[in-house]
Chain A
Amino acid sequence: MTDSASQPRRTPLTGVHEHLGATLTDFAGWLMPLRYGSETAEHKAVRTAAGLFDLSHMGELSVTGPQSAAALDYALVGEPSALRPGRARYTMICAPDGGVLDDLIVYRLSDTRFLVVANAANTEAVAAALAERAADFDATVTDRTDDYALIAIQGPHAAGILAPLTDADLAEVKYYASYQANVAGKPVLLARTGYTGEDGFELFASPEHAESLWASLSVAGAGDGLIPAGLAARDTLRLEAGMPLYGNELGPALTPYDAGLGRVVRLDKASGFVGRDALAARAAAVPERQLVGLTCQSRRVPRHGYSVLWNGEPCGSVTSGAPSPTLGVPIAMAYVHPDVATAAAAAGAEGAGHRLEIDVRGRAEPATLVELPFYRRQA
């Protein structure tokens, strides 16, 4: 007998994915498309043309009210009060000890309205933390996840595909800007944000319009190489782009500084914020770990948790690993001891008498330290 409470939730587009023959998976309690056919083909489509993603599992939290900006300055490590309406910023919410609770994008919709987008697995925890932290401010936190479908179109052809469908002048929609617009006759919050390392747009829409929008975009993009892309491709795309994944590169035992993302922590902002003292101490301290990129010489793929070895000695572990369709070799991000990161970079690819390896299920596979990101799009 199955427990209906444990069945994953359907998004407004799950029926479309089923119709397309997608392999579905339970991701953070949502029935999501892992791949439609070949995840490598989907990845390559995003790099060369465009991919269409259902991201309706993400959490949308509205923070509104006369002191919503101040509340967010206190609750988050960033400075949402400094955002102009129509702008967005990548940021994080940390615990008092500086550990990362989630990474987020905050969109400022107006002087007193913000939309905070959280990872699906953390939505409830982030909503609770925001509500608790906003308690002393004239601000209201509402979980509006069920009020949104989220569709992303990502890739060099994305703007060209979207332009004829919308009244917005896409040339005016800068990176990390958001606009209320009409797309294919439906009202959306249109944002030039993404998680692929390519140009692209994320469309926040009413769930009842999701299927229509998906169909309109699919038809519009059919001649330009647009194909649906699932979570498997999403993961390899963000890995190539050097973007962290909460649960891998970020987590409660890690700070933004560990992940090389100290820039999101505004220690200089006027307000105090949760985690400030711990993060200030961490910023001043000698780092205990460094996030690095690794490319591999064999085709055996490093996976989360595999040990990184420096001259045969463990010096860290892999956080994310996958075959890279763009580079043609397996790539990984890993936390290693900072001294090893320095020494490996100095030694260079030939090793100069040193060995950098990854223990792949009992066999030490040679690896090369590379600067992140692995891939950067042409401007």
Chain B
Amino acid sequence: MSVPAELHYTAEHEWVAIHDSVASVGITDHAQRALGDVVFVSVPAAGSRVTAGEPCGEVESTKSVSDLYSPVDGEVTEVNAEIDDDPGLVNSDPYGAGWLFKVKLDEAGEMPPGLLSAAEYTAMTKDEE
């Protein structure tokens, strides 16, 4: 189970990478394994607002559909255009080419509250098993 140390995580199995007050968001390796083959991802539109902890999209796989939550407050600046044609990127490269959307943080320069470290996320997923 891959849990890159430099990223942050949420209890809803998303990862967050923050650079210059922009948060990149995707789902974790744990999540993609649990989902199976991803067939469709609905992401929030560029320009829309998202709220931390609120559902903002859906990840659909062969056997199930899961809500996608925003880990942060802000405005969506960019969505991954590759995902529409190749939703399998979420399975094959969840932390890289399978990124889903980017959010310009409302609170520039501040670490958003409530995010988990890699160690905390790893412990949390072990507890769930």
Indicate if the CB atoms of A38 and B42 lie closer than 8 Å: no
Q: A38-B91, A361-B65 are in contact. Are A301 and B60 (CB under 8 A)?
A: yes
Residue A311, interface by CB 8 Å = no
Indicate if the CB atoms of A232 and B65 lie closer than 8 Å: no
Indicate if the CB atoms of A299 and B60 lie closer than 8 Å: yes
Indicate if the CB atoms of B37 and A300 lie closer than 8 Å: no
Contact residues of A between 21 and 57, Cβ < 8 Å to B: 23, 34-35, 38-40
Indicate if the CB atoms of A39 and B36 lie closer than 8 Å: yes
Question: What's the Cα separation between A23 and B91 when bound, in Å?
Answer: 15
Indicate if the CB atoms of A232 and B42 lie closer than 8 Å: no
Indicate if the CB atoms of A232 and B91 lie closer than 8 Å: no
Question: What's the Cα separation between A323 and B88 when bound, in Å?
Answer: 13
Residue A303, interface by CB 8 Å = yes
Indicate if the CB atoms of A299 and B37 lie closer than 8 Å: no
Question: What's the Cα separation between A301 and B64 when bound, in Å?
Answer: 9
A220: B residues at CB distance < 8 A: none
Indicate if the CB atoms of A35 and B36 lie closer than 8 Å: yes
Query: Total interface residues on B, using CB and 8 Å?
Result: 12
Question: What's the Cα separation between A38 and B39 when bound, in Å?
Answer: 12
Residue A322, interface by CB 8 Å = yes
Question: What's the Cα separation between A23 and B58 when bound, in Å?
Answer: 23
B42: A residues at CB distance < 8 A: 300
Residue B62, interface by CB 8 Å = yes
Contact residues of B between 34 and 59, Cβ < 8 Å to A: 36-37, 39-40, 42, 58
- When C-beta atoms are compared, the residue in chain B nearest to A298 turns out to be B40
Residue B63, interface by CB 8 Å = yes
B125 to chain A, nearest CB (A): 15
Contact residues of A between 298 and 324, Cβ < 8 Å to B: 299-301, 303, 322-323
Residue A67, interface by CB 8 Å = no
Indicate if the CB atoms of B60 and A300 lie closer than 8 Å: yes
Question: What's the Cα separation between A157 and B69 when bound, in Å?
Answer: 44
B60: A residues at CB distance < 8 A: 299-301, 323
- When C-beta atoms are compared, the residue in chain B nearest to A231 turns out to be B63
Indicate if the CB atoms of A322 and B63 lie closer than 8 Å: yes
A362 to chain B, nearest CB (A): 11
Contact among B33, B36, B65 with A301 in the assembled complex (CB-CB below 8 Å): B65
Contact residues of A between 315 and 335, Cβ < 8 Å to B: 322-323, 330
A303: B residues at CB distance < 8 A: 65
A323: B residues at CB distance < 8 A: 39-40, 60, 62
Contact among B33, B39, B40, B65 with A23 in the assembled complex (CB-CB below 8 Å): B33
A330: B residues at CB distance < 8 A: 39
- When C-beta atoms are compared, the residue in chain B nearest to A25 turns out to be B63
B34 to chain A, nearest CB (A): 8
16 contacts between A and B (CB under 8 A): A23-B36, A34-B63, A39-B36, A39-B37, A40-B37, A232-B63, A235-B63, A299-B39, A300-B40, A300-B65, A301-B65, A303-B65, A322-B62, A322-B63, A323-B39, A323-B40
